[in-house]
Structure 1
């Protein structure tokens, strides 16, 4: 299990790893936290309890999303499912926000002084649509100051590995020029970490940190490109009640 990280006074965040316990059988072994990938629902429920316990909060506090690769943001008012969105924010100390990935980039963010936290799932389409800046804007509407926000980016497939067609690269770069890179093979690629970092800087986010592991190259993480079907790891952010 990745270490719990402090994102300001009283705010904690963390990412899970593939083999940190769990009840899922291959190809979802072992700590798959994603529903809808074909895994046993009972195993997923147990995995979510295991992950919450290891990170130090109650699983009944978590807000999940039905992620759709868009840029919609929900304001969470209770645990459970926030709906078909790719970002969620709240100003409550009793909720834990979660986002899932298996190559996509997750963004966890907090303004500890305002008591506002947020989580976003930013894959290729979400990055192109601007889900990360939408997350920051939604946090600001709850009273956060972008200059005080501390953002943490998750492991994701790196630009050296994320090969796409030239047309796809051009479409994403049309929204975020920093996304366009060449892969190690010299083919068109997408660097979601560079793209989202640029978006957050343009939104005046005061501090950006990153877990730079590549999901395709790191066997302790789930990777859709590395072997679908597969499970999902999670990023969690919460305030200490």
Structure 2
């Protein structure tokens, strides 16, 4: 797991890798996704390992269904099952971790520690194109956050040099998320969703932004749907302390 050091740590942000779990191939080994065909017992064991590693009660980690929507959901306590049909979670509840699962999409962890608001966002190409991150910031502001006080951490994701898409698709994303279109290492048309999201966050008044540069497609310590097809999911977690 990788973590950004925020000094006194009123908030914690964590990203996992594919190492350190019990899942068998093609989900080996720290798969946290319960929707990819892995054995439920293995996923549960991995989630328990994650909770123990970060010092949380497993019931204090909130998961979401994730359907590539632009739906944002505010939660105020533990959930018995993943929050349905949503791609962003927001809370003001201390000690309640919000989780996002990815295997090429961009995991975005947001926090305003002065206002006491955090969010976890699943920003795939479609969700990012349809404004999931902007809607999440708007929801945070509605709960007292100020864009200038928000810190954004973008996790490992498909990079522009490896994320090849048809030209028409790239143009469509660019119209909605300016700055996303790029040229891949092969010289073909691609998109870099992280670059587009950084530009969007800046336009919203968010100035404190960190982006993990790792590319899921090329880094074999990370799960990648585009590289492997059938594979697991790593997670990003954020919570107030």
TM-score range, shorter chain: over 0.9
Matches within 5 A, 1:122-201: 122-201=123-202
Deviation readout 1:30-87 (Å, 9 max, x if unpaired): 0000011000111111111111211222211011110011111000122222221000
How far, CA to CA, are the matches of 2:147 and 2:166 in structure 1? 34
Aligned position for 1:52 = 51
* TM-score, structure 2 as length reference: 0.96
Q: Helix, strand or coil for the counterpart of 1:98? A: strand
After TM superposition, where is structure 1 displaced by more than 2 Å over at least 4 residues in a row?
3-9
Is the 8 Å Cα contact of residues 87 and 122 (structure 2) preserved in structure 1? yes
TM-score computed with the length of structure 1 as normaliser: 0.96
The answer to whether the 8 Å contact 1:103/1:225 transfers is yes
Deviations 1:150-172 (A, max 9, x none): 01000001000000011111111
Aligned-residue offset at 1:133: 0.8
* Pair 1:71-2:70 in alignment: yes
| CA displacement, residues 80-103 of structure 1 (integer Å, 9 cap, x when unaligned) | 222210001000103100001000
Alpha-carbon spacing, 1:150–1:96, altered in 2? closer, same or farther (3 Å)? same
The residue number in structure 2 matching 1:97 is 98
Counterpart of 2:27? 28
The number of equivalent residue pairs is 239
Which residue number in structure 2 is paired with residue 18 of structure 1? 18
Which deviates more from structure 2 when the two are superposed, residues 133-142 or residues 3-12? Answer: 3-12
Which string of whole-angstrom CA distances, capped at 9 and with x for unpartnered residues, describes residues 3-54 of structure 1?
A: 35438741001100101x2111100000000011000111111111111211
- Where structure 1 has 5 or more consecutive residues not aligned to the other structure, the ranges are none
In 2, Cα distance between the equivalents of 1:77 and 1:112? 16
Q: Verify the 8 A CA contact 2:104 2:216 in the aligned structure 1.
A: yes
- Report the Cα offset of residue 203 of structure 1: 1.0
2:179 alignment partner, SS class:
helix
- Is 2:204 the counterpart of 1:203? yes
Distance (Å, rounded) in 2 between the aligned partners of 1:115 and 1:221: 31
Greater displacement, 144-153 / 73-82: 73-82
Q: Is there any run of 5+ residues in structure 2 with no aligned partner, and where?
A: none
Given that 1:74 and 1:88 are in contact with CA atoms closer than 8 Å, whether structure 2 keeps it comes out as yes
Listed as ranges, the matches of 1:103-118 within 5 Å are 103-118=104-119
Distance in 2 (alpha carbons) for counterparts of 1:207 and 1:8: 17
